[in-house]
C-alpha cells in the first residue's frame, strides 16, 4: 500500500485566498484525522471522521476552516479566506476502526500564507 | 477527557548513553498508548504501542516503553543512543471516542 497520500506537499498562497488540502487515506481504514502542527501549539487535532462522518470537529479553529469526506478514499481541508497565522504543516492520518489501532500519517502539507 | 503530558521539550544525551523520554497520561478508561517519532520534514512514524497484555512493549530501532498504571506513565527508553535517534518524539493516547491525542513532543539531540 502506498500509505496516506497528501497533496500538495507545499503550498504558498496570499492572504485572503482559498486553500484546499487533499488526503487519500489507506484503503480499508475507517477513521481519518486532520492535524495541524506549529512550533507554538504542537500537534493539534482539527477534526476526526469515522466512516466518512465527522465525529468531532471541536479542534477546528474557526469558521474559515471546513473539512469534508465525500467518500472513503478522499478528504479535503479547506481554508477560506486564508490568513498568515494559518501557516503550519497540516497532516492527514488514517486508521482501521478500533481504539487499539494506531494512526498512519501522511507526509504533510506545508502551508505558507503571505 | 484523556490527555498526555510529556516532561521536557528537549532532551540531550551523549551517543551510547541511556535515552529516557517521559510521558504521563490521564484517562478514565484503560488507555491505549503510543509513541511516535518524527524526523525533519517527515510525517509521524509509529515506534511502539501498548494496548493490552505485557506492560513492557518493544518497538523499532531498539526502543521500548513500560506501561505503569499506578504511576499513569508510559516512559520511552533506549539503552544506548545512536546519532540517528535524533528526532522529535511524541506520546499519544487513544480515547474512548477513538480520538488520538498527542503530547507536546520532546526533541531528542545526540551529542557525539
**HSE-up of B61 (CA within 13 Å, CB side)?**
18
pLDDT band at A79 (very low <50, low <70, confident <90, very high): very high
- For residue A105, give how far its alpha carbon lies from the nearest alpha carbon of chain B (Å): 6
Most confidently modeled range among A50-59, A76-85, B30-39? A76-85
Q: A101: which chain B residues are within 8 Å (Cβ-Cβ)? A: 94
Interface test mutation site (partner B, options A42, A53, A55, A95, max chain B beta carbons within 10 A): A42
Best B45, B98, B103, B105 residue to mutate vs chain A (most A CBs within 10 Å): B98
* Torsion angle defined by CA atoms of residues B96, B101, B89 and A67, in that order, rounded to the nearest 10 degrees: 130
Q: What whole-number distance in Å separates Cα of residue A56 and Cα of residue A25?
A: 18
Q: State whether B95 and A99 contact (CB < 8 Å).
A: yes
What does the DSSP assignment read for B22-86?
EEEEE-SS--EEEEEEE-TTS-EEEEEEE-SS-SEEE-GGG-EEEEEGGGTEEEEEESS--GGG-
- pLDDT at position B53 is 84
Which residue among B49, B95, B96 sits closest to A102, beta carbon to beta carbon? B49
* Percent of chain A whose pLDDT exceeds 90: 86
CB contact under 8 A, B44 and A45: no
Residue to substitute from B1, B99, B107, interface A, most A β-carbons within 10 A: B99
CA pair distance B70, B65, nearest whole angstrom: 15
Averaged confidence pLDDT in chain B: 92
| Exposure string for B48-67, b = 16+ CB within 10 A, e = fewer | bbbbeeeeebebeeebbbeb
Q: How many CB pairs (< 8 A) connect A and B?
A: 59
DSSP category for residue A2: -
Instruction: Using the predicted structure, report yes or no on whether residue B22 has a pLDDT greater than 90.
Output: yes
Per-residue model confidence as pLDDT tens digits over A18-74: 999 999 999 999 999 999 999 888 899 999 999 999 999 999 988 999 999 999 999
Per-residue pLDDT tens over the stretch A58-73 = 999 889 999 999 999 9
Q: Given this model, what pLDDT does residue B29 score?
A: 74
Amino acid at each position: 500500500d502506498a500509505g496516506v497520500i497528501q497533496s500538495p506537499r507545499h503550498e504558498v498562497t496570499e492572504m485572503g485566498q482559498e486553500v484546499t488540502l487533499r488526503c487519500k487515506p489507506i484503503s480499508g481504514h475507517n477513521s481519518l484525522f486532520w492535524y495541524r502542527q506549529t512550533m507554538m501549539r504542537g500537534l493539534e487535532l482539527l477534526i476526526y471522521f469515522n466512516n466518512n462522518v465527522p465525529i468531532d470537529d471541536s479542534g477546528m479553529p474557526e469558521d474559515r476552516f471546513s473539512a469534508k469526506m465525500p467518500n472513503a478514499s478522499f478528504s479535503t481541508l479547506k481554508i477560506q479566506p486564508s490568513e498568515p497565522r494559518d501557516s503550519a504543516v497540516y497532516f492527514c492520518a488514517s486508521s482501521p476502526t478500533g481504539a487499539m489501532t494506531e494512526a498512519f500519517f501522511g507526509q504533510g502539507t506545508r502551508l505558507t500564507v503571505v | 477527557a484523556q490527555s498526555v503530558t510529556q516532561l521536557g521539550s528537549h532532551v540531550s544525551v551523549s551517543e551510547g548513553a541511556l535515552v529516557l523520554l517521559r510521558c504521563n497520561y490521564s484517562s478514565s478508561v484503560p488507555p491505549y498508548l503510543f509513541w511516535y517519532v518524527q524526523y525533519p520534514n517527515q510525517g509521524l512514524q509509529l515506534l511502539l504501542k501498548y494496548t493490552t497484555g505485557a506492560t513492557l512493549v518493544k518497538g523499532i530501532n531498539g526502543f521500548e516503553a513500560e506501561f505503569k498504571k499506578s504511576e499513569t506513565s508510559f516512559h520511552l527508553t533506549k539503552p544506548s543512543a545512536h546519532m540517528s535517534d535524533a528526532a522529535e518524539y511524541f506520546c499519544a493516547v487513544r480515547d474512548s471516542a477513538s480520538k488520538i491525542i498527542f503530547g507536546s513532543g520532546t526533541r531528542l539531540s545526540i551529542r557525539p
